[in-house]
Every structure is written in structure tokens, then in C-alpha cells.
A and B are shown apart, each in its own frame.
Chain A
Amino acid sequence: MTALRHGGFMIGGTVLLLLILVAVFAPLLAPHDPYLQSLTTRTKPPFWHEGALPGHPLGTDQLGRDYLSRLIYGTRISLAVGFGAVLISGAIGISLGVMAGYFGGWTDTCINAVITTRLSLPVVLVALAIVAVVGGSLTVVLLVIGLLLWDQFAVVARTATQQLRNAEYVAAARAMGAGRWHIMVREILPNIRAPLIVVATVEMANAVLIEAALSFLGLGVQAPLPSWGLMLSEGKNFMFFSPWIITLPGLCLFALALSINLLGDGLRDVQGSRR
């Protein structure tokens, strides 16, 4: 089945692309400054309720800031964390995994012990603890998540490399006198791309949700940044009277995570049917 025919892949890909465009063109799309507070227009409902204001189609939050603009700028934060953390964790995890899988022996045993240690740590707790010590900010959150989420990359890269290590084309390359790095980078790595891309989508969705959780608990991105998780936390106290305050940012998170997951699932299906 080709990628273009796969429903999930197309939906996921399109929504993700749209969100990326929203993030890139945020200044052009947002009707207001997301940080602009206004005492007179606090907690106004979105346009489908009565009492809504014309200039704020999705209402305002408890400090009078335009909700739509904050949601739009929020895409930047989530996508920045998503891509950034995946790049960092991918680089770490794939390097460790390929080396463990290719060299085997003590290298594998050591790296495997490191991976198992990382797996035994409760990620969210450790991330929270580190942020509690170092202080919260977008950069810190991105780095912490990136430095903690590499385990699946390593596990999958290691297993895939082990399977290919004994492939005959690898033996042929060695017989040809090719060096170790050539073999790992040019023979093995391109052939393990497929499962790793799937891992990347899963971890990207995880990174987005973890950042939201950290910010929700107050130990992530700090106010006044429009992180969706932070908006949920700020709005939690008002949710009984103004339910849109928590439904909207949650929906955005859900949409982003869902589109990434659908994209990943679609990729996995497409790859699976091609082999």
C-alpha cells in the first residue's frame, strides 16, 4: 500500500503539517498579542456562548489574554519541544544502540546496563526533580526530556543492528576491507531507518505530552509562556464555570499527539507491506 492511500497517514500528516504551518506563521495568524493582559475582558467565553466578545473568537483567559492567540503560539512551544527532544534523544539513542548491536561483547553489556538503568527510572518524576532543582524554562524542559527519552531509540536500534550484523552484505563489505564506521553508517544505518522513524514519531508525541504534564504540574515551562499544559493548569481552577478553558488546550494537545501517532502508524503499515 502506498503512503498516499493510507487514511491514517494522510490525516495525521495533514494535521501535523497544518499545525507546523500555524506555528511558523503564528505572528500572522494570531489576532492579538498572546501576552497582552486586559482587566476589562477577563474570562470571556468563546463565540458559541452568549456574552462573547467579537474580537476574541475563542474567548479570553482569567487575565484577559486572547485565548485563540495563546493557543496559536502554543503550537510553537509544543512543536519545539517535540522536534528538539526527538533530535537529541534520537542522536543519543541511535548511537548507543548501533554501537551496542554492532560491537557486541562488553560494549553491548555495558550499554545494555545503561539502557536498563534508564528504563528503571520513572521519567516524569526524574524530569520533575531535575527541573525542581535547576528551575523551569523552555530550554531546560527541552534538554531534560531529550536527555531522558532516548531509551526506545537505543533498544530498537540495538535489536535491528544485531539482526543485520550477520547479514551477508555486511560480511561482504567487511571482506571488501571496508572499515567499521563505513559499515555502521552506510551499510547498517540506512537499513534500520524504518523502525527508527516509527520510534521517532512515538517519542515525539511522548515529548509533547510530557512537556504538557510538566508544565501542568508547575515544573515545566513557566508563565507567561502559552504552553498548552500551563494553560490547562491555570485554567483548572475555573473549569467548573468555564469548561472551554480546559477543553480547548487539551484538544490541541490531543490533536497534535494524535496526528503524530497516526503518521507513525501509517508509516509502520506502509513499511510493513513493502517488505
Chain B
Amino acid sequence: MTAQAQLELRGLHVRIGEVHAVRGIDLDVARGETLALVGESGSGKSMTALALMGLLPPGARVEAETMRLEGGKPPALLRGDRLSMVFQEPMTALNPVFTVADQLMAVFRRHRGATGARDRALDLLGRVGLPDPQAQMAKYPHQLSGGQRQRVLIAMALMCEPDLLIADEPTTALDVTTQVRLLDLLAGLQQELGLGMLFITHDLGVVGRIAHRVAVMQAGRIVESGPRDAVLRAPRHAYTRALIQSLPRPATPAHRPPAPPVLEARNLTRSYGRGVRAFHALSDVSLRLEQGEILGVVGESGCGKSTMARILIGLDRPDLGDVRIAGQDATTMHQRARARLIQPVFQDPFGSLNPGWTVGQILELPLKLHTTLDGKARRARVHDLLDSVGLPERAHGSRPRALSGGQRQRVAIARALAVDPRVIVCDEPTSALDVSVQAQILDLLRALRRDRGLSLVFISHDLAVVQALCDRVMVMHRGAVVEQGQTAAVFAAPRHAQTRALKEAILGVAPLVETATMPAIQE
């Protein structure tokens, strides 16, 4: 621990209404050091940051024995100046009616005066890796991508040479390759400027990449802290151990005997718009899924994986190409018939269930549409379905509002199973879940494949998950398939540049974690 702490925090409590969100935590961040504050949703990590910045809503009560920056002042008064923050969602964090220049220079003018504002802004835009800073100055936020906006926001945070930078999940909303570039950027800037950085994240992979020290938060308390390598290699607290254990680890490739194809798509092509401005979502994409196989589809946003998913499920029609499911030509199939063969599980557990319906009603709908069972028989089936996804029977009377993210996703899976389909297409089903919940859902999917002979198409941007779950993987880029093969083989020796870029963007902790102390993945 370095001699002079940049930030000293002792005994922080935050209460909002009835909720005691932060229960007495201590933190130190030293100059030139990154402290990662790790926790799942609801742990209080963001509240801590907002409390330091003085940005909590008016009804919040904050107390701390000590809360100060080097020099003795409380940090909230110095925001923008010696202490600044970068938030998670860059798409909405910039004022849409002002240019980049206006917004950057306003910060400098506020704390340092008007002279030199423009030069500083240009300098920082260059340092955060934006090409042609002069041109960027005149742009409006909607003309920039998410990654570019986040770079602008980092520049804004650095305008007044702060001593401490707080980053609250700044890369979670971005593509994996962008994420890794931004993380490296932040680490580099920290070195250059001697910043202290408090980095909040739920992702242990991020911790592995850039943190010097780690503090683990659970339910408002810090349960463990220390140097990064020590905490990750030899976690002392049960919660830290559980977090590390939930991390997806590459599966040992099991030998599968070749099976007949249950899903075949050939030469799928789909474009939107006309003429010069047409967007080619899919160009000549073909796919083959064998019975009992889990096929991973990876790629960055805009690569066409969601478009392909919609075509396979039947929510969209391809301009060219055809789809065969279980040997039948599905291209012109009526949706009712198709639904019995292939079903989706979507990403957002909050959005994929109708908020006004009960779980029982949600699960009965497919039975009403596709079977001739009477009410009693349907309810019995609903009971079976809830059982098969590990939910208690009484869940059938609950509304989605009352369930957790993981529970809702189980309901979504149960709904997909209700018609006994041959194929389930999962579009980022665990991306919105905490890592421990994600592990449970992945286990559930494996069990369903084993017990019911299900075949899965698993779309994800998270390569660690794909490595852990999928037998084969297909890499997509700009609407085309650039590489595919057995998962282990593709990741061991990637051939296409995109695959390599994706692989490098995996923030694995495997090198840091003693695999010997963890039990092997059950198959």
C-alpha cells in the first residue's frame, strides 16, 4: 500500500428510504492505483460511487466517519475538478443538442477559466484515441458510436486533471472488442497521468485485466479486499469463492457421435432498405445443427446474429435462402406449425414475459394454442414444466414483477419447452443476469439437452460462456460467417482476424486462478 492515499473512506453508510444500501465500508485508493470494487447487482457498489460524488437522490442519507481526498476536502465538492466519474451507458450520457466541443469546454471553463479550454479539449480527444480531434469537436453525440461517445466522456472526465477517476461499469454496454480497447486505454491513461482509479464492475475478467487491488462487496458490505492476485488465487470469503466458481470455464470437449441434422439453413440473405443505403444484415449465411448439439453463434453487434435468429424462429423472412427443421421445409411454413419445432428464449428476462399475466397463464398459452388438453390437464402440464426448470409449483400464480431475473428466465425456458420443440434458439439468454445466476441457467440448459435430447442454437457475445457451453461455434462478422468448427479447436487456433480479435477480448481469469482448487464442470 502506497504511503499517501488519494481517497480515504471510512465507515460509509447509505440509506435510501427503507433500504440500507451501504453498511459501513472502508476504502482506500492510492495514486497511480486501480482499486476494483466488485459485486453483483444490488451489492451497493454504484451507491458507494454516487455517495462519493454527492449525486444520490435528495431522499438519501449518507454518513461517513471519514470521506476525503488527498488534501482533506470532501470529494463531493470537487467533482469535475479533482474527482470525476464515467458512467455505464454512453449512449444517453451526452446532451443531444450541444456539440462535443461545447460540452468538453464547459467543464474546463467552470473549474479553470476560459483560456486554454479548446486546446485542452483537442489534446484530450487525441489522447483518448479518437481520430481527427478537430473534426470530432464539431460533432453532435448522435453522430458518434457508443465506443466513441464513451471516449468523449472519458476525455470530459479528464479535462481538469483529476486526482481520482471513478468508473462505474464503463464498458459493460459496449462490444467486447471495444471493451478491451477502452480498458487498455484507461489503464494507459492512468499510468501516464498518475491517476487513482476506483473501478466498479461485476466482471471478474475486467478485474483480472486492469486492477491492482480488489474489494468484493456483497449486500452493502465489503467481504474481502486485498491485492488482486492474492484475492483471485486464494479467496478467503465464501462469497468470493462462489463468484470465482461461477465463472464459466471451457468445457472438456465430449465426443459426440455424428447425428442427423435437426436444423439446416442455407444461403440466408436479408437486407433492409433499398439502393445505396441498403443495410445487408445477412449475406449468404448457412448453418447446420445436429440432433443433441449446442451450437454457439458469436459476433459483435451488427454482425447479423439476431437477424438470423429471427429468421430461424420465423419472425422474419429471408430475401433468399431456405430453412429446414427436422427434415421439413420451413420457409413457407405457417407459424403455428413452425412453433412446434423451434422456439426462442430471449435476452431480457424483464421484457420477454407479459407483465400483466401470471406465470400460469404465460405457460398455458402455448398449450392452448397447440394442444387439445382441457383445463385440468393443462394445469398439470404447467406443473411439470415448472418442475423441469426448477421452479416451485406456487410460482404459477405469480406475476413476472414478483420474480427475480433468473426465475423469469426459467419461466421463459419453460415456455419454450411447453410445445416440446426440437430446437431452442437462445439469443443472449444470460447476458442480463448476474454471473452466479448465469451459471445456474447454463447448468439448466445442459441438463435439458442431456435429458430431453434438445438441440440448441446459443447466441452470445460472451465468449467465455460459449466456450463453457457449446460443442461447436460459428463466428459471424458483418453479416457473414467467417469461421466455424469445434469450439475448442476454433479458440485454440483461430484463423480469421475477427475470431482472433474476439478471442483476445476474452477477459479470462483462468491464468490467475488456481484451477486445481475448483471442482471440474459437471456434464
Contacts and interface: CB of A to CB of B under 8 A. Distances in A.
Contacts of B412: 172
B59 interface: no
B172 to A, nearest CB: 20
A169 B352 contact: yes
A51 B356 CA distance: 61
Interface stretch (A9-17, A109-117, A173-181, A210-218): A173-181
B365 A178 contact: yes
Given A167-B351, A177-B339, A191-B356, A172 B370 contact: no
Interface residues of A, number: 14
A190 interface: yes
The main secondary structure of chain A at its interface with chain B is: helix
Given A191-B355, A191-B356, A176 B346 contact: no
Nearest to B415: A172
A234 interface: no
A176 B354 contact: no
Nearest to A274: B401
Contacts of A177: 334-339, 369-370
Contacts of B339: 175-177
B315 A190 contact: no
B369 A172 contact: no
Contacts of A174: 314-315, 335
Contact of B343 (A167, A175, A190): A175
A190 B399 CA distance: 14
B28 interface: no
B308 to A, nearest CB: 14
B313 interface: yes
Interface string B396-432: 0000000000000000100100010000000000000
Contacts of B365: 173, 176, 178
A190 B351 CA distance: 15
B293 to A, nearest CB: 21
A29 interface: no
B344 interface: yes
Interface in B338-361: 338-339, 343-344, 346-348, 351-356
Interface of B: 313-315, 334-339, 343-344, 346-348, 351-356, 365-366, 369-370, 412, 415, 419
Given A176-B366, A191-B355, 18 more contacts: A167-B351, A168-B348, A169-B351, A169-B354, A171-B315, A171-B352, A172-B344, A172-B346, A174-B315, A174-B335, A175-B313, A175-B339, A176-B415, A177-B336, A177-B337, A177-B338, A177-B339, A190-B356
20 contacts: A168-B346, A168-B347, A168-B348, A168-B352, A169-B353, A172-B346, A172-B353, A172-B412, A173-B365, A174-B315, A175-B335, A176-B415, A176-B419, A177-B334, A177-B336, A177-B337, A177-B339, A177-B369, A178-B365, A191-B354
